[in-house]
Amino acid sequence: MSREPDWRLKIAAHQRRYFNALAEVFDAPQPPEVMDRLRQVVGAAEVHPGDVVLDVGTGAGVLLPLIRHYQPSVVLACDLAEQMLARIRPNHPYARVLQCDVVWLPLKPASVDVIFMNAMYGNIADKHAACANAAEVLQPGGRLVISHPEGKAFLDRLRASTDLFIEPFPTKEAFRAFAAPLGLQVVRYRDEPKLYLLVARKM
């Protein structure tokens, strides 16, 4: 992968086209067993009533009703693909949409309590910049949740069958070393055949 100055923009543009074309697919109902795992993901974040919650790579918004169950004060839905966000507006009108890359989130420091990166962390080209930005907008004690309801093996198969930028999800030890300089501490980690779940807390 080339690392010229605009490499992130090129990857983001490709992802935007790719996911815009799949908006209808992502808007379809998920199987009950996947929804059960997604409930575990959202529950692991310990969302409290009144929290500000950001769903990065929200897609068609599969996490949004699960997040809303915990009565946050603000739900932010962020995605690169405008066709995905077009599904959010009528179906989840309580969510505020942001069309941007997580690397350039237009949010104030220490303004968010929980950030979800569900089924999209492997697609982030510059993970250091993305997690540094996430750490900056999180309040002290805020949680970053990185997850995938189909697990690592699903991603490995997807990497072999698409030209989409996808990198493997990190081990607990690798993410701990990566995140510590950003002020993030791993507090929960599950790496199972059908669920990847990592929770890091802002110190």
Q: What is the pLDDT of residues 87-111, one digit of tens each?
A: 999 999 999 999 999 988 899 999 9
Is pLDDT at 156 greater than 60 in this prediction? Answer: yes
What's the mean pLDDT in 35-40? 98
Residue 41 carries which DSSP code?
Answer: H
Share of the chain above pLDDT 70, in %: 98
Task: List, in order of start, the domains of the chain with CATH numbers.
Answer: 7-202 (3.40.50.150)
**Do 198 and 145 form a contact (C-beta atoms < 8 A)?**
yes
| pLDDT tens figures, 47-66 | 999 999 999 999 999 999 99
| pLDDT tens figures, 184-200 | 999 999 999 999 999 99
Cα 186 from Cα 86, distance rounded (Å): 34
β-pair partners for 189: 198
Residue 181 carries which DSSP code?
Answer: G
Q: Which residues contact 195 (CB under 8 A, 6 or more apart)?
A: 37, 40, 41, 147, 148, 149, 150, 151
Distances (CA, A) of 3 to 7, 125, 134: 5, 10, 22
Q: What is the mean pLDDT of the chain?
A: 94
Task: Determine phi and psi for 3, rounding to 5 degrees.
Answer: -120, 40
**pLDDT tier at 136, thresholds 50, 70, 90:** very high
Q: What is the model's pTM?
A: 0.95
Q: Which residue carries 């490709």 as its tokens?
A: 14
Single out the residue of 131, 123, 128 nearest to residue 59, CA to CA.
123
